[in-house]
Structures are given as structure tokens and as C-alpha cells.
Amino acid sequence: MALQLSSACYCIGRSGHRRASVAKTTAALNEAQEEKIKLGGSDLKVTRLGIGARTWGDTSFWNHLEWDDRKMKAAKAAFDTSVDSGITFFDTAEIYGSQLSFGTINSETVLGRFIKERKEKDPQVEVAIATKFSALPWRLGRQSVVSALKDSLYRLGLPSVELYHLHWPGIWGNEGYIDGLGDAVEQGLVKAVGVSNYSERRLRDAYERLKKRGIPLATNQVNYSLIYRLPEENGVKATCHELGVTLIAYSPIAQGALTGKYSPENPPTGSRGRIYTPEYLTKLQYLLNRISEIGQKYGKTNTQVVLNWLIAQDNVVPIPGARNAEQAREFAGALGWRLDGEEVEELRSLASCIKPVIGLPVERL
């Protein structure tokens, strides 16, 4: 009888633990869903952290000339886990995975498939999609922007998207591109528009041109992280604040360098290894150690701390790329809490002692 009672108590204890765990998870999801930000002067609200879908369309699905869908399944798990965790803002582009980038499946096509499958299971689910126009030299005039957006919508399987960016400034024809953004809004193809990799001067020009039509410039998407703070130095971040334009930060964990997974003894390979050398990683260790200490205070990982460093600046939305469910789940842990002002400034001060990595040349056009 004593054994039966003990077993019963154990079962009740485990059941109570499961209920508490479910309640805690539900509360976390609700908190993430409620933590949204209004993009610039538009009426569009998105989660304070988005997911970059660039790697969801590329050549990596080919393995020794045979189709390998393991990475496709991992990407699908990343999408579903993000939505389950309350992250419903996804960023893609027409060029991601396209033939122009030597890809085999366009990221928009893959993302559109994921959305369709999810809605079949949960018709009430709502996601916000951002995609981008490629300012290629042979694309001229405002109509090229509208036509490209319609092609993107076809691949996504959607009648409209929430946000449409100019991916980078063109060599010429930028005024026409901005006019095309305005046309897309007026035609109901997109709710809000933005730019990407725009300098302070180009940002102001785009803002003023759209303003004449009563259309707000919602966002500027740029490379921004704790160890790449060019937007703070070249006036872009300050101008975003002045004009009420939201800054969307791509590469927010610096290609993994800020996560702590690399070290002088274990540097990255390939192109990343040429940037994050053992010498550079040695100089980075003190900052990484401090990030880890702060993370222990909040019960968070390095990744979650550096993402929260961006979120804590109020007008910044980081969009890390998630390859699998584990990464998406970790990214979600950057929501629902906040570094204090002293910690934000301390990390910025420590990072300022480290030579910044090289960014994209288009930022200086």
C-alpha cells in the first residue's frame, strides 16, 4: 500500500510538473506574441525579432548530385518552431536561392510552401513577410519594381506582403525604384516599404520622395551587430531615429562569431575563417566572456544576449537566420526580457576596443 501511495504521489508530481511546464511555455509564447514593434511611420506591427530565410533557398539541397531534403526539413522545422515560439516575422528576397545566386530553389518559393502547409493545419495563423527587390543594372523604371514584386508574390503564393525593400541602391535609376515602391503601396501589393543597405544621404532622399506621396519609409535594413556598428558611425542609425525609420539588423550575431562557438583554437572555416581569424578571435574573448557573465545573470545564452542588445535599443529589429528548430528556439529566448541601459552601454564600450569586421561595399554607395 505504501508503494502504491508512493507511486501515486510520484505520478501526481510528474503530472503537476508537466502542467507547470506547459503553463510556463504558454506564457512565454504569449509574451513573445505581444512583444511587437511598429515599423517606422507605417501601421505595420511585427515581432521585435524576425527570422532571416536566406539559407532556405540555395544549392545545399544537392548532395553528390542526388536530391537531399534533410536541410529542407530542417528549414521547415525552423519555420514551425519560430511560429510556435511567437516569432511571426520572416525576411526573404527574390535573389535568395535564385539562379542569379547559383541556387536551385528560391527562398520565396520555399517560404511560401511553408506558409501554405502551416495554414492548412492552422487557418488562423498570421505571419508577416518581408521580401526585396534586386536593383540589377538592366532593371529600369518604376514598373520594374512592381513587376518584380508581382513575381515574388507568385512564388510566395500570396496576394500581398507586409514589407517590400529595395535590396541595395542601384547604379542608376534609384528615383524610379522609389516611385515603384510607392506604386506598389497604392496598388495594394504591400502594406509598408523600406530600403536596405542605404547610406544616410540615400535614406533621406528616399524618405523625402515617398513623403511627397504621403507614404512613410518604414525601414532600412543594414548590417548591424555588437561588433559591426557602422550604422552608429556613419549616421544611418541616428538618421533612422530622427526620421522615425525602423532599423532592421541583418547578421546580428556576426555570422556566429558572437555566439561563443568559435575560439582561437576552433576558428570557422571557409570565407568566415578569413574574417574571424585566430588573432581576431583572441581579441574577442574578453567581450565574449563578459557576454557570457551577463547571460548567466539572466539565464540566457550568448546568442540571446547579443540579440537582446539590439532589441533593447527600441527601434531595432534583428533578423538572425535560422537553419533548424534548435536555432529558432534559441533566438526566441531573446524575447520577453531586457538588458538594462548600463549593460547595453558596457557591451558597446567593450566592443569599441575591437577592430570592426569588413562590411559590404554597397553601404558606401
| 264-308 residue pLDDT tens | 999 999 888 888 999 999 999 999 999 999 999 999 999 999 999
How high is the pLDDT of residue 3? 37
Count of CB atoms situated within 10 Å of the CB of 129: 26
HSE-up of residue 74 (Cα within 13 Å, Cβ side): 15
Comparing 3 with 170, the larger pLDDT belongs to: 170
Element of type H or E holding 79: helix 70-84
How high is the pLDDT of residue 39? 98
How high is the pLDDT of residue 11? 39
Question: Helix, strand, or coil here: 127?
Answer: coil
Catalytic one among 96, 224, 228, 250?
A: 96
How high is the pLDDT of residue 23? 46
In angstroms, rounded to a whole number, what is the distance separating the alpha carbons of residues 40 and 46?
Answer: 11
How high is the pLDDT of residue 355? 82
Residue 63 pLDDT more than 70? no
**Residues whose CB falls within 8 Å of the CB of residue 166, separated by 6 or more in sequence, listed in order:** 132, 133, 135, 145, 174, 177, 178, 181, 194, 195, 196, 198, 206
Contact 29, 83 (CB under 8 A): no
Residue 9 pLDDT more than 50? no
Backbone angles phi, psi at 94, to 5 degrees: -65, -25
User: What average pLDDT does the chain have?
Assistant: 88
Question: Rounded to the nearest 10 degrees, how much is the dihedral formed by the CA atoms of 3, 5, 9, 11?
Answer: 70
From residue 208, alpha-carbon distances to 49, 124, 174, 181 in Å are 27, 37, 13, 13
Contact 91, 112 (CB under 8 A): no
Count of CB atoms situated within 10 Å of the CB of 227: 20
96 given a catalytic annotation: yes
How high is the pLDDT of residue 62? 55
Ranked by mean pLDDT, which of 48-62, 90-104, 324-338 comes out on top? 324-338
How high is the pLDDT of residue 28? 45
Rounded mean pLDDT, 42-68: 79
Residue 57 pLDDT more than 70? yes
How high is the pLDDT of residue 100? 60
Q: What is the DSSP letter of 319?
A: -
In angstroms, rounded to a whole number, what is the distance separating the alpha carbons of residues 236 and 220?
Answer: 9
What percent of the chain has pLDDT above 90?
A: 76
Q: What is the DSSP letter of 266?
A: B
How high is the pLDDT of residue 71? 85
In angstroms, rounded to a whole number, what is the distance separating the alpha carbons of residues 331 and 319?
Answer: 9
In angstroms, rounded to a whole number, what is the distance separating the alpha carbons of residues 331 and 339?
Answer: 15
How high is the pLDDT of residue 65? 53
Can you give the C-alpha Rg of the chain in angstroms?
A: 22
| 80-135 residue pLDDT tens | 999 999 999 999 999 998 666 555 689 999 999 999 999 999 999 999 999 999 99
How high is the pLDDT of residue 58? 63
- The DSSP result for 136-167, as a single string, is -TT--SHHHHHHHHHHHHHHHT-S-EEEEEE-
| 195-231 residue pLDDT tens | 999 999 999 999 999 999 999 999 999 999 999 999 9
Comparing 20 with 300, the larger pLDDT belongs to: 300
Residue 17 pLDDT more than 70? no
